[in-house]
Structure 1
Amino acid sequence: MPGQRGDTLLDHAVRYAGERHWDVLPGSWLEIVDGVPRCVCREATCPSPGAHPLRSAWAAETAGSGPGARRLWERTPFASVLLPTGRTFDAVDVPEVAGCLALARMERLDVPLGPVTSTPHGRMLFFVLPGAAAKAPGVIRRLGWSPGALDLTTRGEGDWVAAPPTRVGARGSVQWARRPTAANRWLPDADALLPHLAYACGQEAATSRER
């Protein structure tokens, strides 16, 4: 589902919901105040400026179809595009360095992959079938690591991820490291990716300790 130059956030939200059948959620956005981009939530210490739900009951404010997404974004055209996890997909969240290492390794080994995002905060998120949050600790322990020792987390039920081209603060926008396509419509199980991602995170942790 390649986008077109000049597409609006509404266009992207409609495609995610209509073509990919992902639930979409309009989130916060950035306003320029005295030349500085600030989140509309007005929180001075906002951890995800311009890219978070605006209400605690956000889980009931999603749309799962193209027409539904269009109605939501026509009311808030500047809203960021958020994707609730734990519904049609979970996401495995790792540092960008480890993510790039794992991505190259998995492509070399022809491991089936789903979409992957890259955030301006230096993270990569690998989309997998729901259930990753429950599986990850056991898989990591079987590989010989303590789950808390690796910089690897999962986004599942009750959580969300920001979708491209959502902008996060002044650092830039979320981008696709691996775009959604017809070939990766069927998402992989977390079991297939976690060993590679955990290994890459372990390698990065070891390298950091040696510096």
Structure 2
Amino acid sequence: EPAGRRALTRLERMGLPLGPVVATPGGRAQFLVAPGAAAELHDLLYRMGWDDRTHLDLHGLGPGSHVTAPPSDRGGLGPARWLRPPSLDTATKPPAARLLLGTLAYVAHRSRA
């Protein structure tokens, strides 16, 4: 979550379109983006120069996965909360993952260093 907060701050300063962002009780930040990003994650990272994504703590959630939406309790582990709540603009048209991924990868990489 701390890396997600830093990435969110950078993305907002850059003026990029953002969708909702969830903070999980497990300490992760989940950026909600347009469908299909999970299947493209590896290729997108590779094309951006992140050829060894095993060192990045980025995971795509695709078909069969779920996100616990705030203000829900995640199976007794604690509450999920919004770092950036949904808005009318982003509810119908979430951003493409490729717009956010470079910054997310950079911040994730810097957080591991």
Q: In structure 2, how many angstroms separate the alpha carbons of the residues matched to 1:194 and 1:149?
A: 15
Q: Which has the higher helix share?
A: 2
Aligned partners of 1:183 and 1:158: how far apart in 2? 26
For residues 90 and 67 of structure 2, what CA distance do their matches in structure 1 show?
Answer: 18
How many residues are aligned here? 111
Ranges in structure 2 where 5+ consecutive residues have no aligned partner: none
| Superposed displacement of residue 102, structure 1 | 0.8
SS at match of 1:133: helix
**Residue in structure 1 matching 2:58, options 145, 148, 152:** 152
Say if 2:76 is the partner of 1:195: no
Instruction: Tell me the TM-score normalised to structure 1 length.
Output: 0.50
TM-score by length of 2: 0.90
**From 117, 120, 132, the counterpart of 2:25:** 120
Aligned residues of 1:117 and 1:126 also touching (Cα < 8 A): yes
Q: SS of the residue aligned with 1:130?
A: coil
Higher relative contact order (CA 8 A, sep 6+): 2
> What are the Cα deviations for residues 105-142 of structure 1, in whole angstroms up to 9, with x where unaligned?
01001000001100111001011111111221112122
More strand per residue: 1 or 2?
A: 1
1: distance between equivalents of 2:72 and 2:14? 31
Counterpart check, 1:100 vs 2:25: no
> Are residue 142 (structure 1) and residue 43 (structure 2) matched?
no
Quote the sequence identity (%): 44
Q: CA RMSD in A?
A: 1.3
